[in-house]
Every structure is written in structure tokens, then in C-alpha cells.
Amino acid sequence: MTTAVTEPTGARSRQTNYWRVRTARTRAPAESAEQAWHIQHGHPGGAYCDLGNELDPPAHHAPTLLSRSRPTGRRGDAQEFRGGCLTCDWEGPVHRGGGYGDGDNEAVEDAHDHAFPGWRGLPPITQVKDRWQIPQSRSRWAQLISLYPAGWAEQGAPLLSWSRYRREAHAPPHQGRPRYELRIARPPSHRDKPPTDQGALF
């Protein structure tokens, strides 16, 4: 009789369990580590994240991305994703997809719904070049985050930008930008209404 392995819940606990499996400190075979829920590499709290791995949880809800692979037989492994929080044990619903904007985007958005309810109403960046230029300009950045709810910018609320193509993957935080950059669909254009000049706003 085999006993089912019960995984802990919560992003931080799952990440600890993942490393225990990888380093052969559990009964599960080390090569099965990718089948355990863990923080996706490069995302907050996970391996290869520029932001490091703080031992103490943040004082506010902080979004991250959980993932695992599931064997599917002859087709190889399938990827599953869900949003997570580095402060509490909240976890979002499971999304299946191949990553790179397929499945992982939905999970990251769930995590932001948890940490920053209403984030979809934040002002977006509408030009690709401004994705880098606005955060580097003190005055333009101050103008942008002045439109955020109080305290959100300091807590790592996301930077929104128009997608260049369908399902452009959301970008995790990194050392130069300690917040997610979420790519949102460009609104439909109205030929009878001239586009807003973003340069005039910032």
C-alpha cells in the first residue's frame, strides 16, 4: 500500500518542500522535484531571482508564480501554473499551458488580483520604448505612480504596458525594476478619435 505524499500549501512552504525533494531530503525521488509545486525560476522567492530570497515575508501581500510539470505519457510533461503570495498561504486556480504567456500569464494576473485588487485600472505605458525610459526618468516615473493608489508603488504594484502581440509574456521583477511588468491588450482604436499623446502626459 502506497501513501500519497501531501504537499504543503503556500508559496514559501512549497518552495522549501521543492528544495527538500531536489536535495533528496524526502522520500520522493530527487528527479521528481519538477512535479512538485514550486516558485517558477526567476520569479520573486524563486531560484535565479534578482531580488534575492528574503527569510522574512513582506509586510504586505506580494505576488509570485508557482509551477509544476505533470507527466502525460508519450506526449511528455505538461506545465501547470497558479498564482501565489509570499506573505500568506493564498494560491490561485490552476492554469495549464506551455508558458511564455500561455497559462503563466493568467496565474500571474490572479496573484495580482489577490495582492493589488483593481490593478487593471492602473495607467498603462503605450509605447515600447517607454517601458525602459519611464522607469529611468525620475520625473516621468513620479508622474506615472502619482496615479497609483496610495502606498501601491512602494509595495511593488505592477507596471502596465500595452502588448506588442497576443499573449506577450508578463515580465517578472528584476534588479532594475522591482515589480512585475504586466502586458495588457491594446484597446481598439477609434479612427474618429486621435490617439492620446503620451509625451504630453509624462
Q: What is the pLDDT of residues 35-91, one digit of tens each?
A: 999 999 999 999 878 777 676 889 999 999 999 999 887 777 899 999 999 999 999
pLDDT of residue 193: 58
Q: Where are the alpha helices (DSSP H) in the chain?
A: 11-22, 104-115, 130-136, 138-145, 198-201
- Asked whether 155 and 192 are in contact (CB, 8 A), the reply is no
- Write out the DSSP string of 90-105: -B---EEE-BTTBSHH
Model pTM score: 0.87
Flag the least confident range among 51-60, 146-155, 187-196.
187-196
Residue 102 CB burial class (10 angstroms; 0-12, 13-18, ≥19): middle
- Asked whether 93 and 110 are in contact (CB, 8 A), the reply is yes
